[in-house]
Amino acid sequence: MRSLRLDAAPDTVHWGFFDAALKPLVTIEPGDEVVISTVSGPPEAMPKPESGMTVPPALRAIHAGVT
């Protein structure tokens, strides 16, 4: 059994559609475990830097790099 991780990042995210033509990011075998990280929130909902709240760097990178 393998343990795989798939993190949210500009090269692993697409917005608004499912498409079987997209290249798989991981291939698994029966019994493999996959941990998937997610982020959410539109840019206008992210807290301001002075709020003291932390926005995951992946979320900022995804908004900057994914159309």
- Looking at residue 15, its pLDDT comes to 86
In the predicted structure, residue 49 carries a pLDDT above the cut 90:
no
- Looking at residue 52, its pLDDT comes to 93
- R_g of the chain computed on alpha carbons: 15
* Mean pLDDT score of the chain: 92
Angle CA 26–23–33, to nearest 5: 15
Residue pair 6/35 in contact (Cβ under 8 Å)? The answer is yes
Angstrom CA distances, 14 to 26, 44, 49, stand at 15, 19, 26
